Amino acid sequence: MREMTPSLVRELERRIERIWDIGQQLGLRPLPVHFEIVPATVMYEIGAYGLPGRFSHWTHGKAYQVQKTLYDYGLSKIYELVINGNPCYAFLLETNTLLQNTLVAAHVMAHADFFAKNAYFAETRRDMLDIAALHAERIEQYEFTHGKLEVERLLDAVLAIQEHVDPSATEAAGPPPAPQVSRASSPYDDLWRLDQRPGGQQGPEESLARRTSLTPNEPVRDLLWFIHEYSPVLDDWERDVVAIVRAEMLYFLPQIRTKVLNEGWATLWHARILHELDLPLDEHIEFARLHAAVLQPAGRRINPYLLGWELLCDIERRYGFETLFLVREVESDVSLVRNYLTEELVERLDLYLYERRGDEFVVVDKDWEAVRDRLTNELGGNHIPVIVVEDGDYAGNRELYLRHIWDGRPLDLPWAEKTLEHVYRLWGRRVWLETREPEGNESLVLSFHPREGHRRHS
């Protein structure tokens, strides 16, 4: 059942030109966009992988299966998908109606504008599509050389901690801020220099540099980077896999940090642009339905389209049209909510705090400030605990000491233990994680080594 016949594609092309005219007149400055019409399976694949042609891993297969199942049972459908880049790539579902794809195109234009203008995207790699394909090729090569299972196990471990990169680090800005190394950590350091062998292969100086930088003065936020640099056990190809996952994570991170703002922005503009298009009446009704569906509350869960859209509409009401463009340039989800969520909006959006009591989820608070504060903890990547490297030479034995920066939210301890096993795969020495007991008062240190298993030290 193909909706997009050749004549409809020509009509869509005409409309997209109109959309671009209207959008530009209204002030959007998008990156160039390539549109591509694809069957549902391809749509789900790209949705599951995040990027077309990304490396193979069963977790992607799992995501693909979920997407496909949801689609097959008619539960959920991906309408639009756009890849940040220069050019951007936007995928249109071939089974969509003309109106659906028209709306998607307008939505995509606003995303492409957001990618171009929002500060958090300033340093993203616009050639990630090609880079990811090269990554996939290298990983395939490693599978060939070292065996699929070996690569899979390594990826299992790296992906388990992929979220732990430094959000401020980007590829474009060069290597992440190196941990400040105390070169003179002992008064006798200079003595080593006396031992320096000119032209020696690896003099004590070098090994010293390596040793001292293992113990950074400042905690290192970028766990993947630290492991990439200092793991005592990884081979070169394994380090490369760590670097690949890290580079791709840094590419995705701005999108994680601006989900609400970006979707709100795109929703605002697809509505505005479609109003400017002279659509026939029946399509206008279809549009109204679709737009309402996008803004449907998602049953207890926050709908980012709705939240972002309401926030932006409110900003325009209160501060005028121009402010919208400033907001899209400088804010992230956290700052957007922090700066612009008001008591009236919390009321109107019917936001609340709930918690689990027995088998039920019960609303426990409607205070707008409490809601706002909590919301900033959930958005923009703040759902990821902050884990830092304290020491890569713990106990003088090159053990890895990690610390969870406590912010009042307890870790899922069984999961943390499982994750430590993955960290061990990458570090090869005993790994430690300092956090707190769930109640938050007592310090708790987890450790893992395969010989002694998991331990908890109070």
Partner 1 sequence: MFTLAIRRDDWSLHRKGAIDQARHMEKVKEAIKRNLADIVSEQSIVTADGKRLVRIPIRVLEEYRFRFDPEAGRQVGQGTGETKVGDVVGRSGRRGDRGMGPQAGDEPGIDYYEAELTIDELGELIFEDLALPNLEPKRLRELQSETVRFTDIRKHGPFANLDKRRTLRENLRRNARRGWPRIGDFANEDLRFKTWERDVKHESNAVVIAMMDVSGSMGTFEKYVARAFYYWMVRFLRTKYDRVEIRFIAHHAEAKEVSEEEFFTRGESGGTRASTAYELTLRMIRERYPPDSWNIYPFHFSDGDNWPSDNERCRELVEELLACVNLFGYGEIRQGRYAYQSTLMHTLQRIGHPKLVTVTISDKTDVYHALRRFFGPELEQEVARA
For 305, counting Cβ atoms within 10 Å of its Cβ (0-12 exposed, 13-18 middle, 19+ buried), the class is: buried
Closest approach of partner 1 to the CB of residue 384, in Å:
7
Number of residues that bind partner 1 (CB under 8 A): 90
Instruction: State the Cα torsion 55-59-63-64 to the nearest 10°.
Output: 50
- The residues in 21-60 that bind partner 1, with binding defined as CB under 8 A, are 24, 30, 32-39, 41-42, 44-45, 48-49, 53, 56-60
What are the residue ranges of helices labelled H in 51-147? 58-72, 98-117, 128-146
CA 341, CA 330: separation in Å to the nearest integer? 16
Distance of CA 361 to the CA centre of its chain: 28
Q: What backbone torsions phi and psi does residue 155 show, to the nearest 5 degrees?
A: -65, -40
Per-residue string for binding with partner 1, 426-445, x by CB under 8 A?
Answer: ------------x-------
**How far apart are alpha carbons 177 and 219 in whole angstroms?**
12
User: Least distance (Å) from partner 1 to the CB of residue 251?
Assistant: 19
Eight-state DSSP code of residue 176: P
In the three-class reduction of DSSP (H, G, I as helix; E, B as strand; rest coil), residue 421 is classed as: helix
Q: Measured from the CB atom, is 362 or 395 closer to partner 1?
A: 362
Q: Does 225 bind partner 1 (CB under 8 A)?
A: no
Subset of residues 353 to 382 that bind partner 1, contact rule: CB under 8 A: 353-356, 359-366, 371, 374-375, 378
Strand partners, 457: 445
Residue 25 CB, nearest distance to partner 1 (Å)?
A: 13
Residue 80 or 212 having the CB closest to partner 1:
80
CB 228 within 8 A of CB 239: yes
Q: Which is nearer to partner 1, 243 or 349 (CB)?
A: 349
Helices (H), 27-57: 40-49
The one among 104, 345, 411, 444 contacting partner 1 by CB under 8 A? 411
> Of 198-206, 213-221, 327-335, 411-419, which part binds partner 1 (CB under 8 A)?
411-419
Residue 49 or 394 with smaller CB distance to partner 1: 49
Binding to partner 1 in span 55-84, by CB under 8 A? 56-62, 64-66, 68
Cα gap 358→362, rounded to integer Å: 10
Can you tell me whether residue 450 is helix, strand or coil?
coil
Backbone angles phi, psi at 220, to 5 degrees: -100, 125
Residue 429 DSSP one-character state: S
Nearest approach, Cβ of 63 to partner 1 (angstroms)?
9
Least separation in angstroms between residue 310's CB and partner 1 is: 10
Residues numbered 130-169 forming contacts with partner 1, rule: CB under 8 A: 152, 159-164
Q: Is 452 in the site for partner 1 (CB under 8 A)?
A: no
Q: Which is nearer to partner 1, 143 or 240 (CB)?
A: 143
Minimum distance of partner 1 from residue 32's CB (angstroms): 4
Angle formed by the axes of helices 236-257 and 223-230, nearest 10°: 170
Cβ distance to partner 1 smaller for residue 31 or 212: 31
The pair phi, psi for residue 346, each rounded to 5°, is -60, -40
Q: State in angstroms the smallest separation of the CB of 377 from partner 1.
A: 9
Nearer to partner 1 among residue 105 and residue 268 (C-beta): 105
Residue of 227, 201, 213, 3 lying closest to 96 (CA atoms): 3
Distance in Å, CB of 136 to partner 1, minimum = 9
C-alpha 217/C-alpha 212 separation (Å) is 10
> Footprint of partner 1 on residues 293-332 (CB under 8 A)?
297-303, 306-307
